[in-house]
Homo-oligomer: A and B are copies of this chain.
């Protein structure tokens, strides 16, 4: 639909502007419904809303669909930004209750099974008295994790103890391997000079 590049009318007007421009009334009613708890309307609800709002100006079902998608997404985005700022400011330790990033089943990058229990038990290992101090007073290290599909790496910040991050067990890849000699697999340690 690029044949009419001239941006004709604002305000939901007729001529086929390149995108929907909601009227004040439409936005107001949409926001009221959203705040009322309607986050993901069904197709039926979308159609009802569309016809109810069409008396205020041109509108299509997909406009309503997109509006709710975008509004929800941008709400979450704002929330994430706020949480992130708080975490950075206070240097909090992300827990399972308040994760900095969503905590999927986690594991080290080289061998999931080895790292996962270690990481999950971290908080337990700490003397319960010093936990809070460590959480607040120490800079945090960053660890790379892989999601459970092994496709998407993500990070979480952990208190800097000396620990073995990469067990470096060889992964069982079925590809050709004659080109490189296996490196001596040194262990990488992270230490903190606090």
Residues of A within 8 A of B (CB): 1, 4, 6-9, 42-44, 46, 61-62, 65, 77, 80-81, 84-86, 88-91, 101, 109-110, 136-139, 141-144, 150-151, 153-155, 157, 160, 165-166, 168, 171, 173, 175, 177, 180, 183-194
Q: How far is the CA of A149 from the CA of B115 in the complex (A)?
A: 31
What is the copy number of this chain in the assembly?
Answer: 2
Q: How far is the CA of A154 from the CA of B152 in the complex (A)?
A: 10
Q: How far is the CA of A80 from the CA of B153 in the complex (A)?
A: 11
Known contacts A171-B85, A173-B85; is A183 also within 8 Å of B65 by CB?
no
- SS class of chain A's interface: helix, strand, loop or mixed? loop
Q: How far is the CA of A168 from the CA of B88 in the complex (A)?
A: 10
Instruction: Contact check, A183 vs B91: say whether CB atoms are below 8 A apart.
Output: yes
Residue from B80, B157, B171, B193 in contact with A144 in the complex, judged by beta carbons closer than 8 Å: B157
Q: How far is the CA of A143 from the CA of B141 in the complex (A)?
A: 9
Instruction: Contact check, B192 vs A189: say whether CB atoms are below 8 A apart.
Output: yes
Residue from B136, B160, B173 in contact with A188 in the complex, judged by beta carbons closer than 8 Å: B160
Instruction: Contact check, B186 vs A189: say whether CB atoms are below 8 A apart.
Output: no
Known contacts A84-B150, A151-B80; is A42 also within 8 Å of B139 by CB?
no
Smallest Cβ-Cβ distance to A174: which chain B residue: B85
Kindly provide the distance from the CB of A41 to the nearest chain B CB, expressed in whole angstroms: 9
Kindly provide the distance from the CB of A106 to the nearest chain B CB, expressed in whole angstroms: 13
Instruction: Contact check, A138 vs B183: say whether CB atoms are below 8 A apart.
Output: yes
Q: Residues of B contacting A137 with CB < 8 Å?
A: 183-184
